[in-house]
């Protein structure tokens, strides 16, 4: 497709014919996500100016309270998405409970799970951060007068009908899948549109990069320790040692590995027995995307896509990226154990 003139709306419209899910309701849901992302992107890009305009959490030069960016992102998402008419319920990493749609707004057949601003501890250092989202269809039955609720949110990532992320980096990018490959769009601020920049992204089957917080090495299971030792050992035939690349910002680490190949890991450890990352808002949507790009995501033993959450804030160990690398890690865990 002609990249210079293809925005996300056109791209989606063009695909409606091979993707029955892409109804008007679905497209309008995507449009709302794009709007929220553009607003967050604008604020993230201004973040460097807070020293000049007034520190976050303090009062700015106009005498207004400057809101923290993660709170701002959550509020923006909720405000934009709840009035769109296509959602019946939402859940977010930043809220204790599910987010219901107030009665004054129409309700739709979709469910949104999202992390409004992941990696926000990196903002002050001008490091890339991101928004992650997943979309399910509601499973409660409107015709039986069932209310939207936990059952709609607690679905395995395999049942997602779409997932994506926005990366606020040197430029802002929107990457998504609706089960027909993974496509990336870059925000052209001069026209205020996300334009097609990366059509049909495929992750290399095997990589040369690993991304993990290695400061936790002594807290990991033997399986994970032996795997990392293996990646660092020299062997010409299997192209080792691997390079280590870790930003500490999930969307940024994932995005780089998606484009270049790589394995990102956040294993369980002695302190965080279930790992750090959340199944619904982080691991699940990215597992769906990586699968669509030809990669794989595992909790060390099984496919992340098959895990049915029983709590909305459930955490899960995450190994995600190039398929052969993630499978190799599973072999090491199987052989050496995963006890911490």
Binding residues (CB under 6 A) for ligand AHM: these are: 93, 118-120, 213, 248-250, 276
**Residue 314: left (phi > 0), alpha (psi -120 to 50), or beta?**
beta
Tokens (6 digits) for 101: 């749609």
Q: 325 is in the binding site of which of ligand AHM, Mg ion, none (Cβ under 5 to 8 A by kind)? A: none
Give me the least distance between CB of 287 and ligand AHM, in Å please.
14
Q: 269 is in the binding site of which of ligand AHM, Mg ion, none (Cβ under 5 to 8 A by kind)? A: none
Q: 299 is in the binding site of which of Mg ion, ligand AHM, none (Cβ under 5 to 8 A by kind)? A: none
Q: 248 is in the binding site of which of ligand AHM, Mg ion, none (Cβ under 5 to 8 A by kind)? A: ligand AHM
Give me the least distance between CB of 92 and Mg ion, in Å please.
10
Letter string b/e over residues 265-295, b meaning 16 or more CB atoms within 10 A of that residue's CB: bbbbbeebeebbbbbbbbbbbbbbbbbbbeb
Q: Which is nearer to ligand AHM, 86 or 131 (CB)?
A: 131
Write the binding mask 63 to 102 for Mg ion: x where contact by CB under 5 A, - elsewhere. Answer: ----------------------------------------
Give me the least distance between CB of 279 and ligand AHM, in Å please.
13
Give me the least distance between CB of 262 and ligand AHM, in Å please.
13
Contact between 57 and 66 (Cβ < 8 Å):
yes
For Mg ion, the binding residue among 70, 94, 118, 253 (CB under 5 A) is 118
Give me the least distance between CB of 264 and ligand AHM, in Å please.
8
Q: Which is nearer to Mg ion, 118 or 299 (CB)?
A: 118
Q: Which is nearer to Mg ion, 119 or 261 (CB)?
A: 119
Q: 213 is in the binding site of which of ligand AHM, Mg ion, none (Cβ under 5 to 8 A by kind)? A: ligand AHM
For Mg ion, the binding residue among 32, 70, 115, 323 (CB under 5 A) is 115
Burial class of residue 33 (count of CB atoms within 10 Å of its CB; 0-12, 13-18, 19+)? buried
Give me the least distance between CB of 253 and Mg ion, in Å please.
12
Q: 221 is in the binding site of which of ligand AHM, Mg ion, none (Cβ under 5 to 8 A by kind)? A: none
Q: 41 is in the binding site of which of Mg ion, ligand AHM, none (Cβ under 5 to 8 A by kind)? A: none
Give me the least distance between CB of 178 and ligand AHM, in Å please.
24
Q: Which is nearer to ligand AHM, 207 or 249 (CB)?
A: 249
């Amino acid at each position: 497709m002609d990249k210079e003139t293809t925005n996300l709306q056109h791209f989606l419209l063009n695909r409606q014919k091979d993707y029955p899910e892409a109804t008007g309701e679905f497209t309008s849901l995507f449009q709302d996500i794009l709007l929220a992302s553009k607003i967050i992107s604008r604020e993230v890009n201004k973040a460097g100016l807070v020293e000049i305009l007034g520190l976050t959490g303090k009062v700015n030069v106009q005498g207004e309270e400057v809101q923290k960016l993660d709170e701002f992102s959550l509020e923006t998402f909720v405000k934009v998405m709840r009035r769109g008419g296509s959602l019946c319920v939402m859940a977010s990493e930043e809220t204790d409970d599910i987010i219901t749609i107030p009665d004054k707004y129409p309700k739709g057949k979709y469910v949104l799970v999202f992390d409004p601003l992941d990696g926000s501890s990196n903002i002050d250092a001008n490091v890339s951060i991101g928004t992650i989202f997943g979309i399910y269809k509601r499973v409660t039955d409107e015709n039986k007068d069932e209310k939207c609720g936990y059952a709609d949110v607690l679905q395995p990532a395999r049942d997602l009908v779409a997932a994506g992320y926005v990366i606020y980096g040197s430029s802002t990018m929107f990457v998504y899948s609706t089960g027909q490959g993974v496509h990336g769009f870059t925000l052209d601020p001069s026209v205020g549109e996300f334009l097609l920049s990366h059509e049909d992204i495929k992750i290399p089957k095997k990589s040369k990069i690993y991304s993990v917080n290695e400061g936790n090495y002594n807290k990991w299971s033997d399986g994970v320790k032996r795997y990392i030792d293996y990646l660092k050992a020299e062997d010409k035939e299997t192209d080792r040692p691997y390079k280590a690349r870790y930003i500490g910002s999930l969307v940024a680490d994932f995005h780089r590995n998606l484009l270049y190949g790589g394995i990102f890991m956040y294993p369980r450890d002695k302190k965080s027995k279930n790992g750090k990352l959340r199944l619904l808002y982080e691991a699940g949507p990215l597992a769906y995307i990586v699968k669509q790009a030809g990669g794989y995501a595992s909790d060390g033993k099984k496919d992340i896509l098959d895990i049915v959450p029983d709590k909305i804030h459930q955490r899960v160990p995450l190994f995600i990226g190039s398929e052969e690398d993630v499978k190799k890690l599973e072999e090491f865990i199987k052989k050496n154990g995963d006890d911490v």
